[in-house]
Amino acid sequence: MTPADLSQLSASQAAAVLRSGDLTVERLAMACLDRIEARDADIRAWAYLDRDLVLASARALDGSSSRGPLHGLPVGIKDIMQTADMPTQYNSSLYKGHFPTVDAACVSLLRSAGALIFGKTDTVEFAATGRRAATRNPHDLTHGPGGSSSGSAAAVADFQVPLSLGTQTAGSMVRPASFCGVWAMKPTWGLINREGSKIYSNTLDTIGWFARSADDLMLLQDVYDADMGDYPVLPLSGARIAFCQTPAWSKATEATCTALAAAADGLRKAGAIVTDLKLPSEFDALPDQQTLIMRAEGRAAFLADARAHPGQLEPRLQEMVDNTDGHTRAGLLAAYDDAALRRSQFDAIAAGFDAVIAPSAPGEAPLGLEDVGDPVFNGMWTLLHVPTVNVPAFTGPQGLPVGITVIGPRFADRKALAAAKAVGTALGL
């Protein structure tokens, strides 16, 4: 295989070739590095990448007697996660050159599994708000990749690495995955240890990952999930699939409406029993509750930086610390308690279906890099703590990707991944 061929391999494909002995980790790494060298001036996915370090790590893996489940697979790390051998800079001027010498738990688990920690991907400042990533959308450089996991989504979409980590507080995994046309997994809240990864919102932040196939998402699920287990194969014939417009449906553009309709059509043709799911009216408040909780919890998240660097915190973050929104702790508690009721209620609803499907974003990626897109179709699922998978099945009128989201009840991560895979297959992926 040529280097160009190698960088096109999915993680599962690369793992198979590595296992066969026909490929070294170093050669795979060099293929990815070559791809990045050719594309980086356009895509700008990386906040930190050290070619020599990558190759040294690759050779160390080639020389190692242990063969973990992710042996030699390059993984990009969102630059809000600490890495022992690379700086962690949060895209914040306050953390330029910052270099804590420990791995975040999510990075440590990758290393233990034999993954090749490739580099740090650009992000919206602190994965919150403020400075945008410099990253461009691989499908059209005049558009952004979405945020906040901008570099992680774009690097995978552009075949620079097969896997990457991101985080989601509102829609920072699923939305950039939809904009960039890649698969993404946002697991159940609490499943993955967040230590060493910047926390924006305590009850929302969730670590997830990007890949170019459903099988690749499963590879990482198996590393992160303490409960191993099979992926229940979902035969689409007779499968009960619920389409949920969500309380945000008025925000859906034609691209998304068309994608959802095409998905329903495709699944019906595959034999699925497709129904419309209208959530009870109590769910209408979820998007606003998600915003309130995120911003209220963001006060504690950025208070230490505000105090350590008076007057230097990015204004949009300082406003959060200062609570210019004017929300109250009584309001926060009401949102907490109401969301808790919706969680069990949604689990019960979702248990009646093999999968729930909803939009991943209002439409295609917006023009320009400042607009990271609207997470309105993602925040409610993040708040419900449920697993969501972006299935990159469609293309919009501007030729940019449009994804759909497959959702399961809490802790049904494997079921949701298996359903997403079946849905993707039925839709031609």
**Among all residues, which ones are annotated catalytic?**
78, 148, 172
Q: How many residues does the chain have?
A: 429
CA-nearest of 289, 316, 259 to 379 is 289
Q: What share of the chain is helix, strand, coil (3-state, %, to 5)?
A: 45, 15, 40
**DSSP secondary-structure letter at 39?**
H
Q: Return residues touching a copy of itself (CB under 8 A).
A: 98-102, 105-106, 108-109, 111-113, 190-195, 198-199, 202-203, 226-227, 297, 299-301, 303-305, 307-308, 321, 323, 329-330, 332-333, 336-337, 340-341, 343-344, 347, 410-411
In the complex, the smallest distance separating the C-beta of residue 196 from a copy of itself, rounded to whole angstroms, is: 9
Q: Between residues 139 and 198, which has the closer beta carbon with respect to a copy of itself? A: 198
Residues 131, 92: contact at Cβ < 8 Å?
A: yes
Phi and psi torsions of 110, nearest 5°:
-65, -45
Q: How far apart are the first and last CA of the chain?
A: 23
Q: Between residues 71 and 212, which has the closer beta carbon with respect to a copy of itself? A: 71
Residues 359, 397: contact at Cβ < 8 Å?
A: no
In the complex, the smallest distance separating the C-beta of residue 259 from a copy of itself, rounded to whole angstroms, is: 32
Q: Between residues 4 and 303, which has the closer beta carbon with respect to a copy of itself? A: 303
In the complex, the smallest distance separating the C-beta of residue 297 from a copy of itself, rounded to whole angstroms, is: 7
In the complex, the smallest distance separating the C-beta of residue 408 from a copy of itself, rounded to whole angstroms, is: 12
Q: Between residues 252 and 332, which has the closer beta carbon with respect to a copy of itself? A: 332
Residues 131, 138: contact at Cβ < 8 Å?
A: no
CA dist 127 and 187 (Å) reads: 17
Q: Between residues 394 and 411, which has the closer beta carbon with respect to a copy of itself? A: 411
In the complex, the smallest distance separating the C-beta of residue 412 from a copy of itself, rounded to whole angstroms, is: 9
CA-nearest of 408, 369, 411, 410 to 389 is 408
Residues 321, 353: contact at Cβ < 8 Å?
A: no
CA distance to 84, 86, 95, 98, 119, per residue, from 101 (Å): 4, 8, 14, 10, 15
> What region does 198 belong to: left with phi over 0, alpha with psi -120 to 50, or beta?
beta
CA-nearest of 399, 414, 401, 351 to 146 is 401
Q: Between residues 192 and 404, which has the closer beta carbon with respect to a copy of itself? A: 192
In the complex, the smallest distance separating the C-beta of residue 169 from a copy of itself, rounded to whole angstroms, is: 14
